[in-house]
């Protein structure tokens, strides 16, 4: 498995869709939007996943890419924590929480699995 650009990497594509899901969640919840700092942090954590995948890919080595995937996974954990704050404060519904949490847990698992793959296999053309 080799990719020419980060846009071709399936986990990046998945993270892109996830960022759009977060933006949609924000638009659908006026109470959440009133907590500007929380919304800002939620957005930054979600697109940090996407950006770290892209930056890691561009570094050109499996070891560095794996490190950036680890950072992206940390951002996924941050998103989950913010979801709990949003739920606990009545900013989002349980259904919204469950759906977004499921998505971010899937991304987190895919990041971990891809990281393991990178540390064992060559991604870059020599």
pLDDT at 122: 73
Q: Mean pLDDT over residues 31-59, rounded? A: 96
* CATH homologous superfamily, domain 9-117: 23S rRNA-intervening sequence (1.20.1440.60)
Distance of alpha carbon 113 from the chain centroid: 14
pTM: 0.92
What is the pLDDT at residue 102? 98
CB atoms near residue 26 (< 10 Å): 20
Residue 124 has a pLDDT of: 62
pLDDT category at 126 given cuts 50, 70, 90 is very low
Determine the pLDDT at residue 125. 53
Q: What is the pLDDT of residues 8-43, one digit of tens each?
A: 999 999 999 999 999 999 999 999 999 999 999 999
Q: Identify the band that residue 60 occupies on the pLDDT scale cut at 50, 70 and 90.
A: confident
**73-120 confidence digits (pLDDT tens):** 999 999 999 999 999 999 999 999 999 999 999 999 999 999 999 999
More confident of the two residues 126 and 91: 91
Domain boundaries, given as residue ranges, for the chain: 9-117
């Amino acid at each position: 498995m080799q990719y020419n650009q980060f846009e071709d990497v399936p986990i990046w594509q998945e993270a892109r869709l996830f960022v759009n899901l977060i933006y949609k969640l924000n638009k659908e919840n006026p109470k959440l939007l009133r907590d500007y700092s929380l919304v800002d942090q939620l957005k930054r954590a979600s697109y940090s996943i996407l950006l770290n995948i892209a930056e890691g890919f561009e570094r050109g080595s499996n070891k560095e890419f794996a490190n950036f995937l680890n950072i992206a996974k940390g951002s996924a954990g941050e998103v989950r924590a913010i979801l709990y704050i949003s739920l606990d404060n009545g900013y989002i519904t349980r259904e919204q929480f469950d759906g977004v949490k499921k998505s971010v847990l899937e991304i987190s698992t895919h990041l971990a699995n891809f990281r393991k793959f990178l540390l064992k296999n060559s991604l870059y053309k020599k």
